[in-house]
Amino acid sequence: MPMITPPLSFDCKELYNADIKQTNFISRIFHILQGLRPGADLTSFQLPPHFNLPKSQLQCYAEMVYCCGQNLLEQCADGATPMERFLAVVRWHISTCRPAPFGKAPYNPILGETHHVTAGDLNVLIEQVSHHPPISALHATNQKKKIELSNWNRPVPKFIGTSVEVTIEGRNYLTLAEYGETYVMTPPKLNFRFLPPQVSEWTGDTTVTCVQTGLQATVTYKSRSLLSRGSNRVTGKVCKIDSSEILYSLNGSWDQTVTLEEKMTGKKSVLYDAKAALSNLKAPVIKNPQAVSPMESVEVWRKVTDGVWNQDWDMARKAKTTVEETQRDLRKQRATDGKAWKPKYFSKTSQDEWEWQLKGHPVPEGPIVLESK
C-alpha cells in the first residue's frame, strides 16, 4: 500500500529540513541553477529527487484545506453575524500558509493526476488540469455545514539570482450557502532565499473580499530584512468596501499568533494561533484501496516516495524518470491520434478560470480518509 507523507506542519519541519545542515547544501543548489539568468522561469525545471519533498504539489495544495488542528474551515459557517463569519474566513485564509521546507520542492503533478480525501464531513478532490502551464483545480464540499470551496492555482517560479520567487496565480472561492455569502481570496508569494539567513518565507499582499457583506481584508506577509526584528510577520486590516473605513487591524506572525484590534474600542484579541492550528497534524490513510485511482497522487509517485524516504536516490531517480517518460509517450500518442486531453472533473470558464464540472453535486467521499483525533 502506498505511503502517505505527513502534512507540512511545525512537527515535520526538522524532518523535511534535515539535509540543510550539510555544509554543501547551498553550493549544490547553486550548481543545479548555474547558467540561469535572473528572471528565468523555472516552471519546467526538473529537480533531482534529493531536492524533492516526498509528495506531489497536489497533496500540498489539498492539505491546506483538509489538514488543520482546529477545523477552521467549518468554523467559517458558525458565526452568528456577518462580521464573525468574515473574521473566521480571514483566520482560515491565514492558516493556509504552511511551513515550507527550505530548498525542497514537491513533485510536479502529471496531467490528470488527482488527490481525493475525506476529512470528517469534508470531501476534497483536486486535479491537475494543465501541465504546460501547470494548473491545478480543487473542489471541496461539506454538506452538513453547507460549505463549498473551489480554487485553482498556477505556480510561477522564477530565479532571482540569490533566491527563487514563486508567484501563485489563482483564486479561492468559499461559499457559505446558508447565508448566501461568497468570499474571494488571493494567495501570497513564496520565496526561497539562498544567502544568509537561508529561509523560505511567504511574502506579499493578499485579499479576502465578500461583496454580500460589504467587507474586505488585506493581509500582508512581510519579507525578512537585515533590519527587521522578526520573521514571518503579518499585518493587515479589515475595511468596508464602499468607504474603506478601517474596522480592525491585524498584527503578528503567521507561524505564531495574529492579533486582532478593533479600531473603535481598541479591544484586542487573538485571531489566529498557528501552533494550535498546525501542530500534531496526521497524514490521511487509505481506507478503500480498491477505489484508489491509478491517477491518485500517492499511487503515481509511490516508488519515487519510497526512494526518497529510504534515501535510495538511484531508485528514486529511476522511478521519477519512468513517470516522466510515460507522460512524454502519452503526449506523443495523443498528438499522433489528434486527440486533445480533457480534465475529468473540471472545465475552463470564459474568464480563463477553472470550475467543478458537476455543478450542484457535492464531492463524493474519497478512498483516502483523514481520521478524527
- What does the domain layout of the chain look like in residue ranges? 13-298+345-370
For residue 55, which of 280, 319, 302, 369 has the smallest C-alpha distance?
302
Q: Model pTM?
A: 0.93
For residues 102-128, one letter each, b for 16 or more C-beta atoms within 10 angstroms of the residue's C-beta and e for the rest, the string is bbbbbbbbbbbbbbbbbbeebbbbbbb
Query: What's the pLDDT at 230?
Result: 64
Query: What's the pLDDT at 227?
Result: 59
Q: Would you place residue 14 in the very low, low, confident or very high pLDDT band (cuts 50, 70, 90)?
A: low
* Span 74-89, average pLDDT: 98
CA-to-CA distance for 220 and 234, rounded, in angstroms? 6
Query: What's the pLDDT at 18?
Result: 53
pLDDT per position as a tens digit, 220-261: 999 876 555 567 999 999 999 998 899 999 999 999 999 999
CA-to-CA distance for 21 and 196, rounded, in angstroms? 13
The cell numbers describing 220, all together, are: 500582508
To the nearest 10°, the Cα dihedral for 22, 23, 29, 30?
180
pLDDT per position as a tens digit, 180-217: 999 999 999 999 888 777 788 999 999 999 999 999 99
Query: What's the pLDDT at 50?
Result: 86
Query: What's the pLDDT at 26?
Result: 67
Output 127 or 311, whichever has higher pLDDT.
127
The cell numbers describing 252, all together, are: 503578528
Query: What's the pLDDT at 101?
Result: 86
pLDDT per position as a tens digit, 317-357: 999 999 999 999 999 999 999 999 999 999 999 889 999 99
Query: What's the pLDDT at 31?
Result: 73
Question: Residue 218 in 3-state DSSP?
Answer: strand
Q: Is the pLDDT of residue 174 over 80?
A: yes
Query: What's the pLDDT at 263?
Result: 96
Burial of 289 (0-12, 13-18, 19+ CB in 10 A): exposed
**Which CATH number is 13-298+345-370 given?**
2.40.160.120
pLDDT per position as a tens digit, 285-305: 999 999 999 999 999 999 999
Q: Is the pLDDT of residue 170 over 70?
A: yes
Q: Is the pLDDT of residue 23 over 60?
A: no
Query: What's the pLDDT at 282?
Result: 92
Query: What's the pLDDT at 348?
Result: 95
Q: Would you place residue 33 in the very low, low, confident or very high pLDDT band (cuts 50, 70, 90)?
A: confident
Output 248 or 34, whichever has higher pLDDT.
248
